[in-house]
């Protein structure tokens, strides 16, 4: 049997990583892993258990406690924390505001990377993994590495549309720029483009065009292996 394919898709917030990764995985018959959901899940657990998310020592001490299980089906990934479905709670504004602080803690990252590599080990055909440090740290030998970008304006408009106007485009833009700065500026495995990643600027591309572009890159790579 062929070696499993690992497709690493990184990039800042709102560039289309989740939508693209799920569709690429479904089209290629691969598993899917949303590593942002894992960081959100551990953040939700910290908040729910009264841990001060701005105290790195407290977060590090608690990092080994929650049991986080992420689904790998691109049609319905889901995520549980200590057996409870956390798919909804991890998307609240409270979690979004706290996740950069929690994910900057090295003990948290070590734990998540372990889960991420285990997910690939149990994906016989391969897996599409999306996040911030997948091509640089988690899978430096990934078959294909993609770095998605888009203008802050396009990303804010997309996200604000999702929130049905509950947050203005300007506030959404400011919040995502702040989160990107925190994610890019942390010491351990910051958000970064791997030297050998293909950068795809999605600002003026439809979702279908981005999906097609990545599927083609993976198929080309598979054909030459």
Ligand X SMILES: Nc1ncnc2c1ncn2[C@@H]1O[C@H](COP(=O)(O)OP(=O)(O)OP(=O)(O)O)[C@@H](O)[C@H]1O
Ligand Y SMILES: Nc1ccn([C@H]2C[C@H](O)[C@@H](COP(=O)(O)O)O2)c(=O)n1
| Residue positions forming the annotated binding site for ATP | 11-19
Rule CB under 6 A: choose which of 6, 8, 10, 16 binds ligand X: 16
* Cα–Cα distance, 130 to 147 (Å, whole number): 10
Structure tokens at 52: 């001060």
**Of 108 and 130, CB closest to ligand X:** 130
Residues 33-72: b if buried by 16+ CB within 10 A, e if exposed: bbbbbbbbbbbbbbbeeebebeebeebeebbeebebebbb
Least Å distance, CB 135 to ligand X, is 15
**Of 179 and 218, CB closest to ligand Y:** 179
Number of shown-chain residues binding ligand X (CB under 6 A): 17
Least Å distance, CB 188 to ligand Y, is 9
**Of 18 and 80, CB closest to ligand X:** 18
With CB under 5 to 8 Å by kind, the binding choice for 16 among ligand Y, ligand X, none is ligand X
Tell whether residue 202 is a contact of ligand Y (CB under 6 A).
Answer: no
Sheet with strand 198-201: strands edge to edge:
31-34, 126-131, 5-10, 144-149, 198-201
Tell whether residue 17 is a contact of ligand X (CB under 6 A).
Answer: yes
Per-residue DSSP letter, 187: S
Rule CB under 6 A: choose which of 5, 36, 86, 142 binds ligand X: 36
With CB under 5 to 8 Å by kind, the binding choice for 31 among ligand X, ligand Y, none is none
Interface with ligand Y in residues 33-62 (CB under 6 A): 35-36, 39-40
What is the chain's alpha carbon radius of gyration, rounded to the nearest angstrom?
17
* Cα–Cα distance, 69 to 183 (Å, whole number): 23
With CB under 5 to 8 Å by kind, the binding choice for 103 among ligand Y, ligand X, none is ligand Y
Least Å distance, CB 12 to ligand X, is 7
- Whole-angstrom CA distances from 147 to 92, 134, 191 are 26, 10, 10
């Amino acid at each position: 049997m062929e070696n499993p394919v690992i497709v690493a898709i990184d990039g800042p917030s709102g560039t289309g990583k989740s939508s693209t990764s799920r569709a690429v995985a479904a089209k290629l018959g691969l598993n899917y892993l949303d590593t942002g959901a894992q960081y959100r899940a551990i953040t939700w657990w910290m908040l729910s258990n009264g841990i001060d998310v701005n105290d790195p020592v407290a977060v590090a001490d608690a990092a080994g406690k929650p049991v986080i299980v992420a689904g790998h089906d691109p049609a319905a990934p889901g995520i549980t924390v200590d057996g409870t479905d956390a798919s909804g709670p991890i998307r609240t504004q409270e979690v979004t505001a706290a996740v950069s602080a929690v994910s900057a803690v090295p003990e948290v990252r070590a734990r998540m990377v372990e889960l991420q590599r285990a997910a690939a080990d149990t994906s016989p055909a391969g897996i599409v993994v999306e996040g911030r440090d997948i091509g640089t740290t988690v899978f430096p030998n990934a078959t294909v590495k993609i770095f998605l970008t888009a203008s802050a304006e396009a990303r804010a408009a997309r996200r604000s549309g999702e929130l049905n106007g509950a947050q203005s485009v300007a506030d959404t833009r400011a919040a995502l720029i702040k989160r990107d700065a925190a994610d890019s500026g942390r010491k351990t495995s910051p958000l970064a483009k791997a030297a050998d990643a293909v950068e795809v600027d999605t600002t003026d591309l439809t979702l279908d065009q981005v999906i097609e572009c990545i599927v083609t890159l993976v198929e080309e790579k598979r054909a030459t292996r």
